[in-house]
Structures are given as C-alpha cells and as structure tokens.
C-alpha cells in the first residue's frame, strides 16, 4: 500500500471574493503520478500554488507526509516539495543556469553536493551545454527544462509541475518522461497540471478534470480515437469526459 505524500481536504480559495477552488479533495501517494487538466482559467495553477503553500486557502487543509501545512511547519515542509511554475521566469533569480539549478540543493546539502547534483540532473535533461548561460536568455523549451531541473534536484517527496511539456521538442519531452518514470520508481509523488493529453497518457496513473472549482475523476478526450502513445490505455475507460 502506497504511503500518502499529499492530502488536500476541503480546499477553498478565490480572488476578489470570487471562488476559484471549491472544496477540493485530493490524495497522492508515493510513486504515483496524478494529472489535473481543464480549460485555461479553471484554476489549475491556483491549486498547485495552494498545495505548495504559496497561497493560503480560505478554508481547508493541506498535509505533506502527514504534516499539516501552515505558517509554523512551512519552512521545513517546503523542503519536501519541488515546484516548476507555468512561467519559468517567475522562479529564476540566479546569474547562471548552474547556480539556478543548484540553489535549493546547495542550501540543504551544501555547495559541493548541490553543484554535483545540479550537473547530474542537467546531464539527464540534456542541458549541460547551457550551464554557464543566464537563465533569462534561454529559449522557452530550455527555460522549461531548467525549471524542472531546479524543482527535482533536491530530491523532493512531492513534485508539482505546471505545464511541464510546453515548448519542448520531441527529444526533450522524452527526456522529461524518462525522468518522471525514474522519480516514480524512487517513490516520488508527482502532480502534473497540463493541457497535453498525450503527456497525460504517457505518465499519469490517475487523472482529474478541474471544472467549476472541483476535481472530477476521469481522463481527457482525445481528438484522435486512441492515445497516440500507442497503448490506447484509456480508450474504454469509465468516467471519460
């Protein structure tokens, strides 16, 4: 039985008095990849920010490894979380890609270990050749890979990814999928918010549609009869929307 890494209970949140998230319930276990999909503006990014402790819910609670996320626990619990934002520029603040990737790991494990881990994850994602470049001068796909590397380098228990396949070419997408499968085998819990149905097909154990501020169990409809990953694994799935 999988140990529960993330649990959200009764989450509610909104902007300017208008609710966006309405009573969300969610659980993600060790070695589980869960996807959340839905139209633009449905609240996917907002939900990830709530789960990361970057927004405070109106109501409800978030637990990471059984620890309630609040002002008292946030500094320690946040070390267990890795997050890659929808807009990578929002998270960049170092002069080089190497320093950007190594930052969190170096703070936790020390400079030498952090830099070593940064170089290793850069190799896996095919970005070793840009380690000395400024993050702001990269292409959209390169920024996406740097953001992912920075999110996973400190070996978090929970990984939150916002549109991780955007701007990636086929080779880079395959590298990301391979990395997520490796993390899954190590027991990392992964929550992905994405519009990419093919990516969902390739990586997710469970999928939820976010609509009306609530999560509905199901899988995305495809423009093609079967998922193009070739397995057709959801072509007959119940609860399909």
pLDDT in tens, 42-58: 999 999 999 999 999 99
The answer, yes or no, to whether residue 223 has pLDDT greater than 90, is: no
The answer, yes or no, to whether residue 232 has pLDDT greater than 60, is: no
Let me know if residue 228 belongs to a domain: no
Let me know if residue 148 belongs to a domain: no
**Structural domains counted in the chain:** 1
Give, as one character, the DSSP assignment of residue 44.
Answer: H
The answer, yes or no, to whether residue 235 has pLDDT greater than 90, is: no
| Span of 74-78, 162-166, 170-174 with lowest mean pLDDT | 74-78
CB of 100 within 8 A of CB of 150? yes
pLDDT of residue 111: 96
Structural domain harbouring 27: 4-87+154-217
Let me know if residue 9 belongs to a domain: yes
**pLDDT level of residue 219 (50, 70, 90 thresholds):** low
Let me know if residue 230 belongs to a domain: no
Once rounded to an integer, what is the mean pLDDT over residues 102-109? 95
CATH number of the domain residue 51 falls in: 3.40.50.300
Please tell me the pTM assigned to this model. Answer: 0.91
Let me know if residue 165 belongs to a domain: yes
E-strand spans in the chain?
4-15, 18-29, 33-37, 59-64, 67-68, 81-84, 158-162, 189-193, 206-211, 214-217
């Amino acid at each position: 039985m999988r140990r529960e890494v993330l649990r959200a209970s009764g989450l509610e949140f909104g902007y300017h008095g208008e609710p966006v998230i309405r009573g969300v319930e969610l659980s993600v276990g060790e070695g589980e990849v869960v996807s959340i999909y839905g139209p633009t503006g449905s609240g996917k990014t907002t939900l990830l920010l709530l789960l990361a402790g970057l927004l405070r819910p109106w109501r409800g609670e978030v637990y990471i490894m059984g620890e309630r996320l609040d002002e008292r626990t946030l500094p320690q619990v946040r070390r267990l979380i890795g997050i890659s934002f929808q807009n990578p520029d929002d998270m960049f603040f170092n002069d080089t890609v190497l320093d950007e990737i190594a930052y969190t790991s170096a703070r936790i494990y020390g400079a030498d270990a952090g830099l070593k881990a940064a170089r290793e994850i850069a190799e896996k994602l095919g970005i070793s050749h840009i380690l000395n470049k400024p993050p702001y001068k990269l292409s959209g796909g390169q920024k996406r890979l740097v953001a992912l590397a920075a999110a996973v380098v400190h070996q978090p228990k929970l990984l939150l990814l916002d549109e991780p396949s955007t701007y990636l070419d086929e080779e880079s997408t395959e590298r990301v999928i391979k990395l997520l499968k490796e993390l899954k085998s190590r027991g990392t819990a992964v929550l992905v918010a994405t519009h990419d149905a093919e990516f969902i097909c390739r990586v997710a154990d469970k999928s939820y549609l976010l609509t009306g501020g609530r999560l509905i169990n199901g899988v995305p409809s495809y423009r093609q009869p079967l998922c193009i990953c070739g397995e057709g694994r959801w072509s007959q799935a119940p609860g399909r929307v």
